[in-house]
A and B are shown apart, each in its own frame.
Chain A
Amino acid sequence: MAVDEETIRRIARLARLELGEAEVARLADEASKILEWVEVLGRVETAGIEPVSAVIPKPHRWRADEVTDGGLGEALLANAPARAHGFFAVPKVIE
């Protein structure tokens, strides 16, 4: 299936990726080729087959509702690109 440049721009917006014009053109070409390559799956009969998301079935277990850590504010902020007053700092979002 051919992917046009407008679709690439739309997907890039969804993925929060800024792309240059050359990148858009290249990705449209590559994505078209890759999607053509995966078209083979359309020919596989999958009626009545349950989709798989976990390979090794494992029951979900309850755990005790207990506090197991905390007081990690400094460690959490240690890699922050910007911080203020013990919080992550970001550009203003509300005018």
Chain B
Amino acid sequence: MTALTELSLCAMREGLGRGDFSARELVAAHLAAIEAARELNAFITETPDLALAAADAADAALARGEAGPLAGIPLGIKDLFCTEGVRTTAASRILADFRPPYESGVTARLKAAGAAFVGKLNLDEFAMGSSNETSAFGPVVSPWRARGSNAPLVPGGSSGGSAAAVAARLVAGATGTDTGGSIRQPAAFTGICGIKPTYGRCSRYGIVAFASSLDQAGPMARTVADCALLLEAMAGHDPRDATSLEEPVPAWSQLLSGDIRGRRIGVPREYRLEGMSADLDALWQAGAAWLRDAGAEIVDISLPHTMEALPTYYILAPAEASSNLARYDGVRFGLRVMPECGSLADMYCATRAAGFGAEVKRRIMLGTYVLSAGYYDAYYLKAQKVRALIMRDFETAFGTCDLILTPSAPTAAFALGGKVSDPIAMYLNDVFTVPASLAGLPAMSVPAGLDPQGLPLGLQVIGRPLDELGVLDAARAIERAAGFAAAPARWWGAA
């Protein structure tokens, strides 16, 4: 029999329904895998007791025939989602001991669906990073290694713990959040699937805020169907988030067919970057060919402001972050550092100096700068206008195509420590993911192949607002054609 941890989430659900194994057995198998994989540093907080209690409740519900759609499924939660009574750190020293007295909208839905949370997953501090190296709890190590090498690689970021845990078979699926690519880029780096839905699909209530006009939650899992099932459980209107959409949640898990006959797939010429690796270019072309073979029509499209998207993002996101992170002042929750005989203002400054890491400080400073008197119009307002042009590019493109196909990230996973000293080189990781974030569009990364070093590469599908189904179907078609079955060879643990 296949190890329980190797099953897809959908297969786990079927097995539980048939009684092939109990939720307790399933969760226990994952807890053992987590214990053996501490070298990956994927978790900040493990919650085995709560997971087993949820498993027992799921077994009882299954026996009564009243099980929710995710009953007994072991999930990891990015440590940016508030979980009632369970430490929520945002991977920052400033929240190192924060225990939320309430549950986030998304995790409340997953709990109600019966999921068993095995722990809180590591991330870049406040989700600011593309390699999971800015975490105050140490970097996550990717379960993947280049062929013939023992050098540690990054899992991508900011949802690096989520990506590593799913790829290493420590969880069936995980929550991620995506502000500029934080679900899609780590999914691509670790050979898994991840979807950022339309902005507003998932409630932001109880998610530690980074850049509120961009932040969106989504699932990460090993198959497209698993993501569809998770997204269905996570999405839905929440009156506690003023930007939450009042739209019905389609039954994506039922509707997913992978049928893309007659759909027009746009390939944006501006995404063919100078210096793009031949492997990535070849994979992108293969992806287009797979979709054509599946009955889609490939059309050449133009997104003229593609190259302006990253600079726009790196004005808007830090501006929103500097405002959102003003709340960490040592008064109501989180770290407090009180200099001797200091004033209230001294306490603010000392608390924030001790509590925030270098990347968070960098973004707070940049954001404060672009919002400050004399610079607001030149930077912030200008970026908001360019954002309008980027959105218009997509609207125009969707006049001639239904979905857009691009690579997910410009490279495969890089070495731990390889880019930390150069912020702009790190920011360039998000060149393909940021435009869809700025436009609020649903976008998904699906694993499509391996590079010559044996490392995963992903393709991204972008859809119209609310067309998660189109995105999922195209991703399913790619998944089917690519036949991606690679998994990281286990080097961690005692085995």
Our verdict on whether A and B bind, yes or no, reads yes
The residues of A with any CB-CB pair to B shorter than 8 Å are 3, 7-8, 11-12, 14-19, 23, 27, 30-31, 33-35, 37-38, 40-42, 44, 46, 49-56, 58, 60, 63, 72, 75-76, 78-82, 88, 90-91, 93
Query: Do B239 and A46 touch (CB < 8 A)?
Result: no
CA distance A63 to B304 in the complex (A): 41
Interface check B361, CB cutoff 8 A: yes
A56-B349 CB under 8 A given contacts A11-B372, A34-B366: no
Given A16-B349, A37-B311, A42-B378, 16 additional A-B pairs, CB 8 A: A16-B326, A30-B423, A40-B308, A44-B305, A46-B385, A46-B389, A49-B385, A49-B388, A51-B388, A52-B388, A53-B213, A58-B243, A79-B98, A81-B335, A91-B347, A93-B344
Which residues on A sit within 8 Å (CB–CB) of B391? 52, 55
A90-B350 CB under 8 A given contacts A56-B198, A78-B99: no
Secondary structure dominating the interface of B: helix
Q: In the complex, what residue of chain B is closest to A72 when comparing beta carbons?
A: B101
Which residues on B sit within 8 Å (CB–CB) of A7? 369
The residues of B with any CB-CB pair to A shorter than 8 Å are 97-99, 101-102, 198-200, 213, 239, 242-243, 245-246, 305, 307-308, 311-312, 314-315, 322, 326, 329-336, 338, 342-345, 347-350, 352-353, 356, 361-362, 364-366, 368-369, 372, 378-379, 381-389, 391, 423-424, 438-440, 465
Query: Do A46 and B382 touch (CB < 8 A)?
Result: yes
CA distance A40 to B314 in the complex (A): 12
Query: Do B99 and A81 touch (CB < 8 A)?
Result: no
**A11, A55, A82: which has the most chain B beta carbons within 10 Å?**
A55
Which of B200, B213, B336, B424 has a CB less than 8 Å from the CB of A82? B336
Query: Do B307 and A40 touch (CB < 8 A)?
Result: yes
Distance between A4 CB and nearest chain B CB, rounded to angstroms: 12
Distance between B179 CB and nearest chain A CB, rounded to angstroms: 13
Distance between B249 CB and nearest chain A CB, rounded to angstroms: 15
Query: Do B465 and A56 touch (CB < 8 A)?
Result: yes
Query: Do B331 and A81 touch (CB < 8 A)?
Result: yes
Q: Can you give 13 contacting A-B residue pairs, CB < 8 Å? A: A16-B345, A17-B349, A27-B361, A31-B365, A33-B423, A34-B424, A40-B307, A40-B311, A44-B305, A46-B385, A79-B98, A81-B334, A90-B344
Which residues on A sit within 8 Å (CB–CB) of B332? 76, 79-80, 88
Query: Do B368 and A15 touch (CB < 8 A)?
Result: yes
Which of A14, A52, A58 has a CB less than 8 Å from the CB of B245? A58
Which residues on B sit within 8 Å (CB–CB) of A76? 101, 332
Which of A14, A34, A58, A72 has a CB less than 8 Å from the CB of B200? A58
Which of B312, B385, B388, B423 has a CB less than 8 Å from the CB of A34? B423
A50-B388 CB under 8 A given contacts A14-B368, A42-B382: yes
A51-B384 CB under 8 A given contacts A38-B314, A81-B330, A81-B336: yes
Q: In the complex, what residue of chain B is closest to A38 when comparing beta carbons?
A: B311
Query: Lowest 6 CB-CB distances: which A-B pairs, in order?
Result: A55-B440, A51-B384, A81-B336, A79-B333, A75-B101, A18-B353
CA distance A46 to B312 in the complex (A): 13
Which residues on A sit within 8 Å (CB–CB) of B322? 15
CA distance A11 to B115 in the complex (A): 45
Distance between B50 CB and nearest chain A CB, rounded to angstroms: 19
CA distance A57 to B47 in the complex (A): 39
Query: Do A17 and B364 touch (CB < 8 A)?
Result: yes
Which residues on B sit within 8 Å (CB–CB) of A19? 353, 361
